[in-house]
Amino acid sequence: MMPDVPGGAADDVPLWEQEHEEGERLQKVLARIGYGSRRVCEDMISAGRVTVNGDTAVLGKRVRPLLDEVQVDGVPVGVEPGLVYFLLNKPTGVVSTAADTHDRETVIDLVPGDVRVYPVGRLDMDTSGLIIITNDGALTNAVTHPSTGVEKEYLAEVECPPSGVSPGSIRRLREGVELDDGMTAPAQVSQPAPGILRIVIHEGRNRQVRRMCETVGHPVTRLSRVRIGTITDPNLRPGEWRELTLDEVRKLTASAGGGRGSRLRR
């Protein structure tokens, strides 16, 4: 008969696999991703502000970073390691793809290359402005899916008389215009200066703002995106990037309807 082995079969399981199965203590995870000291995180848990997979968490709860969904105050904050979030002010002439068959400069070339990332949505090559670059697929889907209604705000310089764009044209843009791929949803449109339109949409059709303006007789001569949901930064110069803060990512996730399970990490 074989002698008993202390610890049983578990002794044959590598330590990292045991930790993966058991998970980490929730307060430790929350502290690691930026919610404060462990004591602060324990107070958050005790106050009932934290849930794991939909259930209110208790002190001592363990979570598995790759499997469990953690929410604080109803907003997913997830704990998957290795996620990054860059905000880039894309210059004109740069393409919004992860790679380009014509060897043109891409938005990926302008941010750190330590991890594999991709742009959230696209800006055409002649359009400048804010674009988020990340490796968080869930957040990407949440921000780009039309059903979440995440707003994108643009400043468009258009061809028009010295007096500016007519009230009738602005009204048409607000109500929606017929494009070759269907009617656009109502947009928020204002004219802060003659020939400058501020346009807010939540759809993501190809070259949509340019096509909308051309349809009402005012072709765009210059276009820049200045806001994505809750994210804006007027001090970020073309070609510059920075990391999004934990608070910015949380607010963007909330504006996208909870982020569809996005696992945020700072």
Domains 16-76 and 151-228 share a fold: no
pLDDT above 90 for 182: yes
> What's the whole-number average pLDDT of the chain?
86
Instruction: Please give the C-alpha separations between residue 215 and each of 175, 177, 180, 199, 212, in angstroms, as whole numbers.
Output: 13, 7, 10, 15, 5
The stretch 130-147 carries a mean pLDDT of: 86
Greater model confidence, 120 or 257? 120
- Domain limits, the chain: 16-76, 85-147+231-261, 151-228
Residue among 203, 211, 109, 218 nearest 158 (CA): 218
- When the candidates are 3.30.70.1560, 3.40.710.10, 1.20.120.1200, 3.30.1600.10, the CATH number that belongs to 151-228 is 3.30.70.1560
Greater model confidence, 9 or 125? 125
Considering only 72-81, 94-103, 158-167, 186-195, which range has the smallest mean pLDDT? 72-81
Residue 103 and residue 95: Cα distance in Å, rounded? 10
In CATH, 16-76 is 3.40.50.300: no
Tens digit of each residue's pLDDT (9 = 90 or more) over 23-72: 889 998 888 777 889 999 999 999 999 999 999 999 989 998 778 888 88
Is 180 an active-site residue? no
- When the candidates are 3.40.30.10, 3.30.420.40, 3.40.50.2300, 3.30.70.580, the CATH number that belongs to 85-147+231-261 is 3.30.70.580
Tens digit of each residue's pLDDT (9 = 90 or more) over 233-262: 999 999 999 999 988 988 898 888 654 444
The stretch 1-19 carries a mean pLDDT of: 44
User: Which is the catalytic residue, given 43, 100, 124, 233?
Assistant: 124
Residue 91 and residue 105: Cα distance in Å, rounded? 10
pLDDT of residue 58: 93
Residue 23 and residue 20: Cα distance in Å, rounded? 5
pLDDT above 60 for 168: yes
Considering only 155-164, 207-216, 244-253, which range has the smallest mean pLDDT? 244-253
The stretch 78-87 carries a mean pLDDT of: 80
pLDDT of residue 79: 65
Residue 51 and residue 72: Cα distance in Å, rounded? 7
The stretch 84-96 carries a mean pLDDT of: 96
pLDDT of residue 3: 44
Instruction: Name the burial class of residue 4, with classes exposed (0-12), middle (13-18) and buried (19+) by CB atoms within 10 angstroms of its CB.
Output: exposed
pLDDT of residue 10: 44
Question: pTM of whole model > 0.85?
Answer: no
pLDDT above 80 for 15: no
